Chains A and B, each alone.
Chain A
Amino acid sequence: MHLTRRTAMLAGVAALSVALAGCAGGSSGGGAETAKGPTQAEVDKAMTTPTTIDFWSWVPDIQNEIALFEKKYPAITVNLQNQGGATAQYQKLRAAIKSGQVPDVAQIEYSFLPSFTITKSVLDLAPYGFGDLKSAYSPSAWGQVTSGDQVWGLPQDLGPTGYLYRSDLFEKAGIEPPATWDDFADAARTFKQSTGAYITDLPGNSFSPILALLWQAGARPFGYDGNKTVTIDLDSPQVTKVVDYWDDLIQQDLIATDPQLDDNWYQSMSRGQYGSWLAAAWGPVFLQGTAANTTGLWRATDMPQLDASKPASGNQGGSADVVMAGSKHAIAAAQFVKFLNSDESSTTQLATQQYLFPSLLATQQNDAFRQQKLEFYGGQTVNDVFVDIAGTVSSDWQWLPFNDYASSSFKETLGAAITDRSALEPALKKWQSQLVAYAKQQGFTVKD
């Protein structure tokens, strides 16, 4: 009977075996680290020799930026492969790394970058002189692609967190967008009383929102020294303070705890079930598409603050483009990464046509981007708001080198407690202990 299941299982076995097929070869292939970069003459030669490089990315229509690159370097052909989103791409990339047949360039989210640098699968671009580009990018983006002197790739887009709210519903409730988290708690109560809806939703199916809140609050729960030591510190006072704050709001039934970015959530957004959204910079345009019936009613501002005189924020999402360590055309690949993320035409196009929030400072300041008026926000220059927010994100946040596990473990512990509206603190402790157990089992030294 259950043919489909068996097929799925067989496919799984097949995928597994493909993934494992190159186990023996993988470790030896990854360790190559060039200490010395290419000379200008070598670069010139590489860029005029007919070459095809493979590029894995899930950015829609990125072919348009590839076209700009190919126009400038006619000898180089970029072969784009979309693996169908971030998660699918990482799985396939890991299989490719084990088999030794890697793409030359890949898009990797900041949060997943250490999971790939730890296996020495990403080429250090410092010898290519990329360290000089530091001042061109938002510090919070640059901090995510470097460890020490090593440069693992160039920042593509960024997701500083701001605050999108329904101006009509806020007016109805007689509240202003809250400036501090203390104000937010009061606003949540007033909002619920006068509209019957929740002021916002804290999702349990993704850890990005709550990590952004921790980022803003100055908590640094994760750390990785680039070698064997990880820091897992989810019981620090800063973390506990944030978690307790939200626990309190949940227990008072002042905020929703629905999973985000699913059908139910889209419906709730367009029906005014949530008055606001702690959205990353990719959120404003995204929301236009999912809640089109609320055009003109939304406004953007920065998130509520712990201390209104010292504005801070955190990132949700954003990715880098990296050159894979096994690339046979590393020079051309590195030049492509550089063009894609620092050439004015390419970055401006990515920002204004594909709506990626740029991590390149020059593009953030570019009027074509910054002064873009969005009808959905009543003609507000939303990008302007987010560019200012991007400057308030601190750059010392770190991710664990096993982000997949950190994320899935969150969903089973703290995330599940949020969704089920049960006590958050025991769940937070459970998350901490699961992460520590996993790290030890994987051979890491754990610091807390």
Chain B
Amino acid sequence: MTTLTLSRRRSAVPRRRSADARRKHIAAYSFLTPFLIVFVAMLVVPLFYAGYLSLFRAQIVGGTTFVGLDNYVRALADPRFLEGVGRMSLFLVVQVPIMLGLALFFALALDSGRVRGGKYARLAIFVPYAVPGVVTTLMWGYLYGRNFGPIAQFFEALGLHAPDLLAPGTILGSIMNIVTWQYIGYNMVIMYSALRAIPQELYEAARIDGAGQFRIAWSIKIPSIRSAIMLTIIFSVIGSFQLFSEPKLLYEIAPNAIGTSFSPNLYAYNLAFTNQDVNYAAAIAFLLGFVIMIVSYVVQLSGNRREKGGAR
């Protein structure tokens, strides 16, 4: 087959086009080179290096020894790691549907064209995403503040007992709220731009068939942007398991509620920089990567299946 095409090509257009094609290849790769260099240097090499490190054990006293997969075995039996993964799974199951549900709702509302000042509303919902994550967390940390935060003061003004939003039992919900607040706008924009790409003819046809706004939303809009929704779900799955900066920053004001292994990423960070156990941290990071891969794959697979089912 290949030879056939090649020979045909050669006979039909001698030289010039192949030179042309080569030039195009060169151009393409030279455009890609800066990315590839950074990608290899900053991602591929450290990845392999971390994989290499995860096979060793370094002790403060006694030096470094090769231990094979011991660190992985240790991690799989490490209650802190498993609890962290469990906590992030809970986070995923509770927070992601709320966040994406609200994002979809806002996207549909804006797309319906019935919202006055839609442009401003869109911007307003998106603004939290433009605020740096660190600032966001510091701000919410202040809002949650035990005695003098606005929320606590509000409750006190009403003569009620203020809930402690930074206590061990409430902190997960408090973080979910921060993340939801921050990322609704981002997801909404993805969905909204997908909605804008739906051909208007479909709506006209639906309207002629007597469909109302809700029916259009349910039967045309949502199915049409399924791939965009899928994208936001996958991003959210990855983001949830990689939760780091929120617990890291809140640790400063509520160390008793967060601890050192709240999320697997925070645990890996503390292992590397507090416990001086870089090798074990690398193993944890790799295992977390596997967990994310598996969960993302399962989510995508179930999404695809549903899509096929819908097509039937």
A contact residues vs B (CB 8 Å cutoff): 1-2, 4-6, 8-10, 12-14, 16-17, 19-20, 23, 27, 91, 94, 118-119, 204-205, 228, 258-259, 262-264, 267-268, 273, 401-402, 404-405, 408, 411-412, 415-416, 419-420, 438, 441-444
Contact = CB atoms under 8 A, between A and B. Distances in A.
Contact of A263 (B47, B60, B142, B254): B142
B190 to A, nearest CB: 8
Given A16-B272, A20-B278, A259 B61 contact: no
B49 A402 contact: no
B97 to A, nearest CB: 14
A1 B236 contact: yes
B274 A408 contact: yes
Contact of A442 (B59, B255, B278, B282): B59
Contact of A416 (B253, B255, B270): B255
The 5 closest A-B pairs by CB, nearest first: A2-B239, A443-B62, A443-B61, A443-B59, A416-B256
B239 A5 contact: yes
Interface in B39-85: 42-43, 45-47, 49-50, 53, 59-64
B46 A14 contact: yes
A14 B61 CA distance: 26
Given A9-B244, A16-B50, A228-B61, A412 B273 contact: no
Contacts of B186: 1
Interface string B255-278: 110011000010001101111101
B145 interface: yes
B239 A1 contact: yes
A5 B253 contact: no
A404 B239 contact: no
Nearest to A229: B61
Contacts of A443: 59-62
B163 interface: no
B122 interface: no
A303 to B, nearest CB: 25
Task: Report which residue of A16, A258, A268, A408 has the largest number of chain B beta carbons within 10 angstroms of its beta carbon.
Answer: A16
A6 B238 CA distance: 9
Task: Report which residue of A1, A118, A268, A402 has the largest number of chain B beta carbons within 10 angstroms of its beta carbon.
Answer: A1
Contacts of B49: 17, 20
Interface string B15-30: 0000000000000000
B255 A205 contact: yes
17 contacts: A1-B236, A5-B243, A8-B133, A8-B244, A9-B244, A16-B46, A16-B282, A19-B278, A23-B64, A27-B63, A204-B256, A205-B255, A263-B145, A408-B270, A416-B168, A420-B168, A442-B62
A419 B274 CA distance: 22
Contact of A8 (B235, B245, B270, B278): B245
Contacts of B132: 4
Interface of B: 42-43, 45-47, 49-50, 53, 59-64, 132-133, 142, 145-148, 167-168, 183, 186-187, 190, 232, 235-236, 238-240, 242-245, 252-256, 259-260, 265, 269-270, 272-276, 278, 281-282, 285
Given A17-B50, A228-B61, A420 B274 contact: no
Given A91-B273, A264-B145, A441-B59, A20 B245 contact: no
Task: Report which residue of B45, B64, B239, B240 has the largest number of chain A beta carbons within 10 angstroms of its beta carbon.
Answer: B239
A259 B255 contact: yes
Contact of B148 (A263, A441, A442, A444): A263
A4 to B, nearest CB: 4
Nearest to A206: B255
Contacts of A2: 183, 235-236, 238-240, 242
A1 B183 contact: yes
A118 B46 CA distance: 28
A279 B59 CA distance: 36
A280 to B, nearest CB: 20
B276 A415 contact: no
Task: Report which residue of B46, B132, B254 has the largest number of chain A beta carbons within 10 angstroms of its beta carbon.
Answer: B46
Contacts of B133: 4-5, 8
Given A1-B232, A2-B238, A412 B260 contact: yes
A405 B259 contact: no
Given A2-B242, A267-B148, A13 B252 contact: no
A157 B50 CA distance: 40
Contacts of A9: 242, 244, 265
Task: Report which residue of A9, A14, A118 has the largest number of chain B beta carbons within 10 angstroms of its beta carbon.
Answer: A9
